[in-house]
Every structure is written in C-alpha cells, then in structure tokens.
Homo-oligomer: A and B are copies of this chain.
Amino acid sequence: MLPPETTCPVIVGDGQIALVLSDALTATSPKVVMWGPLEQAARELESKRTSTRLANFHLAEGVEVRVDDAHAMKGATLIFSAIPTQFLSAVWTRLAPWVEAGSYVVSVTKGIEIDTLRRPTQVIAEALVAAGRPVASVCALSGPSIAAELARRMPASLVAASTDPELAIRVQHILDVPWLRIYRHDDVIGVELAGATKNVIALAAGMIDGLNAGDNAKSALLARGLAEIARLGVAMGGKVETFFGVAGVGDLATTCFSPEGRNRTCGERLAKGEPLAEVLTSMKSVVEGVPTTQAVMQLARLHRVNMPITEAVHAILFEGLQPQQAIRELMGRERKAERVG
C-alpha cells in the first residue's frame, strides 16, 4: 500500500478533460491547482467557477485556478497535462523553467505532433529536458472518456500507462473515486497511439453517419480501422493487445458511436457537404483527428504500414475526395481473406 497522497496535483489546461479531472482529483486531494494557457479565460474560470467549454459544470471548492506560470508550477511534483497536441510543445516550453526537476507528469492528450511525429509524453518530456528539468517519469492516461458524462460522474474505465509501475499505481490511487476504474498498463507507446489514431477512424465513422450508411457499415469500419491502427502501433513498438483493450477498442467504440464525439460530428458534417474550414471554425473545441490524420499518414509511410481507411480520410480532408466515393472504394470488389493486426 502507498501512503496517502499528500502532494497537491497540478492540472495544466482548462479544457473539458482538465475540468472533469479536477472534479475527480478533489475527491482524493484537499487542494488541486489548475492553470490555463490563456490568461483571460483562466481569470474568467477563476472568478465564475464555470466554463463555456463544459455546460452545467461547476469547479469544485478545492480547485485553485492560478494564472501566473511560476506560481502555478511552484512545488508541483505531480502534474496532469491536458493540452491539445498541437499546442503542447509551446505550452510546456513556456512552463518548463518553472517546473522542478524530477516531477511526475500524467498526460491525457490524444494526438501526434504533426511536425515532429512525437507522442504527447515525448513532447512533454523533451520540453522539460531542454530546460534542464527532466521528469522522474511520465504516464499516459487514456480510455473512453466523454467529458459530458464524466462531468455528471457517470461510470468510466481508463488505463494509466507508464514504464514506471509506481507512477501507474499512484495514478490509480489518486483517481480512486467511485465513478472511475483505472487499470494499470505498461505500454505507453500503444496507449498513446491508440488514443491518437482512434480520432482518424472516428472521422470516418462520422462520415458513415453523414451518408446514412448504417451501423453494419460503421461497425465493420470500426473493426477494419482497429486492425489498421493496431498494425501501425505494432510497427512502432506498441503491443497489439493494447489496441484490443479499454484504451484501444473501448475508446474507439465510444468515439465512433457517441453522438457527443467531436471527431465523429466533424466527419458527419463533412459527409453532408460542409467544407472542412467551415466545420472547424464553428466547433468550439479542437478537432484532434484532423491534424492527427496528417501525422498518421506520415507515420504509415515511414513505417510502411497499409492504412486504407486513414488514406481515405486524408484524401477526403485534404485532397477533395467525396466521402461517398471513398466508401465505394473501401467496399471495393477485391475479395480478400481477413487479416487482423
């Protein structure tokens, strides 16, 4: 047994997942610090205790919002990072000088950095190394986690993946609330890749919805999509079984089927004919799947992995392919044996 958690966890980010994390953390920690990258938004959250990002959510009493970088990071030894992928490097480069060396970072970001093809924990760890503040260890926390449900404390299961088993156990303890079940995991690569790539498949699932192609087609897409993201994951050093667990197929299923998913919704609107720029502008939050599709395409080429669904999504997003035509091609006439993983 671990001793009771005495540190004050710090949340980097003030978006949906950051908010629901703060709710869970205050159940086990008397005080939780929250920091947001945009001063005005953070000040508003501090004063109003609500956010336009998550309807009907009130910040718990134990959460202290800090806007000053140095003040937020002062004494932080367990940091939860909840920043969209493409801002991750900038945010952590900015914070790094104020972070103590030897801290522990738990990342909930789902994506791949386009320019460098790094996973979120790599981006964070490297920003801290560059500032001479190397982490003790990192953990990827992932799984089916629609924020609106977590905000209502509806039950969810997540995995805490770290090569440092003590950190994974610590995350299990600090998130030991009745509505969460945390599984330990050691495959950080697999968990982060699963969390990123499922958003690409969710865009395709949304397109199937937009075309009213039905749940049979969407479920087959889910299975074939799972096979192709698992192939990439294994080529990059992840474990195949990670993709068939809670953070793999579990997260993929909720992302493809929940009406609330941003990536699914984006795909649905694209298939109904809205231009990508218009969809992205009108959505309040970042649609991770769009930049992730570009990153995954590069990874597929680099690792010589066949990813027909990702290719189709890329062609629809960036090369003008019509979704209806893409489905016709994916359902194409070549008769094959099924190959998984």
Instruction: Give the complex CA separation of A225 and B65 in angstroms.
Output: 40
Asked whether, in the complex, the Cβ of B331 is within 8 Å of the Cβ of A214, the reply is no
Asked whether, in the complex, the Cβ of B216 is within 8 Å of the Cβ of A144, the reply is yes
Chain B residues, CB < 8 A from A157: 216-217, 220, 223-224, 331
Asked whether, in the complex, the Cβ of A185 is within 8 Å of the Cβ of B154, the reply is no
Asked whether, in the complex, the Cβ of A257 is within 8 Å of the Cβ of B246, the reply is no
Instruction: Give the complex CA separation of A254 and B149 in angstroms.
Output: 21
The smallest C-beta distance from A145 to any residue of chain B, in angstroms, reads 6
Number of copies: 2
Asked whether, in the complex, the Cβ of B144 is within 8 Å of the Cβ of A257, the reply is no
**Interface presence of A340 (CB below 8 A):** yes
Asked whether, in the complex, the Cβ of B155 is within 8 Å of the Cβ of A327, the reply is yes
Chain B residues, CB < 8 A from A254: 215-216, 218-219
Chain B residues, CB < 8 A from A183: 336-338
Asked whether, in the complex, the Cβ of B220 is within 8 Å of the Cβ of A184, the reply is no
Asked whether, in the complex, the Cβ of B155 is within 8 Å of the Cβ of A213, the reply is yes
**Interface presence of A83 (CB below 8 A):** no
**Interface presence of A245 (CB below 8 A):** yes
Asked whether, in the complex, the Cβ of A217 is within 8 Å of the Cβ of B155, the reply is yes
Chain A interface size band reads 35 or more
The smallest C-beta distance from A83 to any residue of chain B, in angstroms, reads 21
Chain B residues, CB < 8 A from A341: 241, 244
Asked whether, in the complex, the Cβ of A159 is within 8 Å of the Cβ of B244, the reply is no
Instruction: Determine the residue in chain B with the shortest Cβ distance to A327.
Output: B155
Please tell me which one of the listed residues B144, B155, B184 contacts residue A336 in the complex, with CB atoms under 8 A apart.
Answer: B184
Chain A residues 173-195 with CB under 8 Å of chain B are 173, 176, 178-179, 181-186
**Interface presence of A227 (CB below 8 A):** yes
Instruction: Give the complex CA separation of A246 and B227 in angstroms.
Output: 10
Instruction: Give the complex CA separation of A172 and B149 in angstroms.
Output: 42
Residues of chain A whose beta carbon lies under 8 Å from any beta carbon of chain B: 143-146, 149-150, 152, 154-157, 159, 169, 172-173, 176, 178-179, 181-186, 212-220, 222-224, 226-227, 230, 241-246, 248-251, 253-254, 256-258, 260, 327, 331-333, 335-338, 340-341
14 contacts between A and B (CB under 8 A): A143-B216, A145-B216, A149-B217, A154-B213, A155-B214, A155-B327, A157-B223, A157-B224, A181-B220, A183-B338, A184-B336, A215-B257, A215-B260, A218-B253
